[in-house]
């Protein structure tokens, strides 16, 4: 995996790395503001936007991707509910545009942590700080989904739930493309052992006691957990857990991309609740299309 830059200054070169699928992440510049895209999703207008766009909302950001798209978002609750666009109303009125993530969310917003499209030109959005923004697309149908996967949602298998929605609507696993955007990296994400256990049981081959489960996790290739110096704590890679869940569903590493950006370690471009303790977010979105 490589990272390229489109006239965006002051971005660290230390985040360049390569994965087996040679996916490329691109920095773009819109009116002086940087955002990321992933080559795995080049066929779809999409973006992982930075904190520099705040306080713009999806109703503003969609103009960068496709101005004719209908905007959909939900009230995120750290669960595993994925809704179809037909189950929620488009989020594009002037009143909607005035609502920001750190204000009281309108009661008209449905509670969920994922949205999957049903028609072309539907833009689906999730917001995040340290949690994982996941954008999924079907290369055959053009359908897309946006998923908010924090540790709680990952423990509840929100991404496999989204994949199940694709399959239920006729998608083939081999046609899916999954991009995991900027999130807190495992090397800096300290959690309790209980949190690691809750995520571990989602990928463990059989029921086991906590000690055996933690040992199993630490022995995995590219382990999703690592030791911490503080008793009762461990370092946890939420994105790695999501990759392992996807692989168990038959999604191959060639179909998955992971952004080489850590929200906690990059205060210039990303909000981080763990770092700052403030409820501020950045947005990620993708627009569906109809394949001919």
What pLDDT is attached to residue 23? 82
Instruction: Give the closest residue to 158 by CA, choosing from 82, 245, 84, 80.
Output: 80
Instruction: Give the closest residue to 15 by CA, choosing from 7, 25, 30, 6.
Output: 25
What pLDDT is attached to residue 105? 52
Q: Are 41 and 259 spatial neighbours (Cβ–Cβ below 8 Å)? A: no
Cα-Cα-Cα-Cα torsion 54, 60, 64, 70, nearest 10 degrees, comes to 140
What pLDDT is attached to residue 21? 59
The model's pTM is 0.91
CA distance linking residue 286 with residue 177, whole number of Å: 12
Domain residue ranges of the chain, discontinuous segments joined by +: 25-184+238-288, 190-236
Over the chain, what is the mean pLDDT? 90
Instruction: Give the closest residue to 242 by CA, choosing from 149, 174, 125, 162.
Output: 149
What pLDDT is attached to residue 141? 97
What pLDDT is attached to residue 290? 79
Instruction: Tell me the mean pLDDT per 10 residues along the chain, length 292.
Output: 46 37 90 98 98 96 97 97 96 51 63 98 98 99 98 99 98 99 99 98 92 96 98 98 99 98 98 95 96 61
Q: Please spell the DSSP secondary structure of 176-239, one letter per residue.
A: EEEEE-SB--GGG-EEEHHHHHHHHTTT-SS---HHHHHHHHHHSTT-SEEE-SSTTEEEE-HH
Tokens representing 255 are 């179909």
72-131: pLDDT as tens digits = 999 999 999 999 999 998 875 444 444 444 455 556 799 999 999 999 999 999 999 999
What pLDDT is attached to residue 8? 41
What pLDDT is attached to residue 15? 35
What pLDDT is attached to residue 30? 98
What pLDDT is attached to residue 97? 46
Q: Residue 162: how many CA atoms within 13 Å on its side-chain side?
A: 34
Question: In CATH, what class is 25-184+238-288?
Answer: alpha beta
């Amino acid at each position: 995996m490589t990272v390229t830059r489109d006239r965006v200054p002051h971005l660290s070169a230390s985040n360049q790395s390569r994965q087996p699928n040679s996916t490329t992440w691109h920095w773009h510049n819109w009116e002086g503001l940087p955002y990321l895209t992933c080559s795995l999703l080049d066929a779809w207008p999409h973006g992982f936007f930075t904190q520099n766009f705040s306080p713009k909302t999806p109703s503003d950001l969609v103009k960068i991707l496709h101005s004719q798209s209908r905007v959909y978002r939900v009230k995120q609750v750290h669960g595993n509910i994925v809704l179809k666009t037909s189950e929620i109303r488009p989020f594009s009125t002037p009143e909607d545009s005035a609502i920001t993530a750190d204000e009281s969310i309108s009661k008209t917003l449905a509670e969920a942590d994922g949205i999957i499209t049903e028609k072309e030109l539907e833009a689906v959005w999730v917001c995040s700080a340290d949690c994982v923004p996941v954008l999924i697309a079907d290369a055959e149908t053009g359908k897309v989904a946006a998923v908010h996967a924090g540790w709680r949602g990952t423990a509840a298998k929100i991404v496999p739930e989204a994949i199940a929605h694709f399959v239920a609507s006729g998608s083939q696993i081999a046609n899916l493309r999954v991009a995991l955007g900027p999130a807190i990296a495992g090397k800096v994400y300290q959690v309790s052992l209980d949190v690691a256990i809750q995520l571990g049981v989602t990928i463990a081959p059989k029921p086991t006691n906590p000690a055996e489960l933690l040992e199993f996790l630490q022995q995995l290739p590219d382990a999703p957990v690592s030791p911490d110096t503080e008793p009762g704590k461990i370092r946890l890679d939420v994105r790695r857990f999501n990759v392992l869940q996807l692989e168990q569903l038959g999604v191959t590493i060639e179909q998955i991309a992971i952004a080489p950006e850590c929200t906690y370690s990059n205060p210039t471009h990303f909000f981080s609740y763990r770092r700052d303790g403030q409820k501020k977010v950045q947005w990620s979105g993708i627009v569906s299309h109809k394949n001919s």
